[in-house]
Amino acid sequence: MSEQDNKWKFLIISDDTPEFMKVLRLASKRAEKIGGSILLLKIIPPADFMHWTSVKDIMEDEAMEIAQEQTNGYVREIKRISGLDAEAVIRKGKPDEVIAEVIAEDHDIHLLVLGADVEGDPGPLVRSFREVLLNVLHMPVLVVPGNMTDEEIDKFA
């Protein structure tokens, strides 16, 4: 068994929720501490515009450009926090299906890290995990409360 076989890879799902930055920080710090790596996944939901294919294509192209810009920024932030070069993947599709596909394809992923809003709805990924992914995934999931401070995250990581 090679050293790479023992290396933990954390899967984090990039989204627009405030708690995502908590997930990014915790996963970055923890991966740095244990010599692991990070796979940053950005999911573009299917376009809901069915009238004209050309408009749908334009909307998807714009979403891909925005996703690429965001992902590049998050990869830079991971590097700043931990010194690690994160792997980034952008996929189109339903989040629970895309997450399951990525995990099935990448056998180095050891942990899915999600963020949860503690004051209201826990968020679509946590709901999806509870409703769908729990039956599909056979791996630990770490849920980071959105109200953790950077100091608490650094202590935990």
Summarize pLDDT for 60-78 with one digit per residue, the tens: 788 899 999 999 999 999 9
Residue 6 clears pLDDT 70, i.e. is over it: no
pLDDT at residue 2 is higher than 50:
no
3-state secondary structure at position 140: coil
> Residue type for 71, please?
T
Residue with the bigger pLDDT between 36 and 54: it is: 36
pLDDT of the residue at 124: 60
pLDDT at 130: 59
Quote the tokens at residue 145.
């409360």
How is the chain split into domains, by residue range? 9-156
Q: Hey, which residues does 42 pair with through a beta bridge?
A: 14, 90
Distance between terminal CA atoms of the chain? 26
**Digit-coded pLDDT (tens) for 22-42:** 999 999 999 999 999 999 999
Query: pTM for the whole thing?
Result: 0.84
CATH code for residues 9-156: 3.40.50.620
Answer with the residue of higher pLDDT: 52 or 79: 79
Q: In the predicted model, what is the mean pLDDT of the chain?
A: 85
User: Which of residues 82 and 145 earns the better pLDDT score?
Assistant: 82
Out of 28-42, 51-65, 74-88, 119-133, which region has the weakest mean confidence (pLDDT)?
119-133
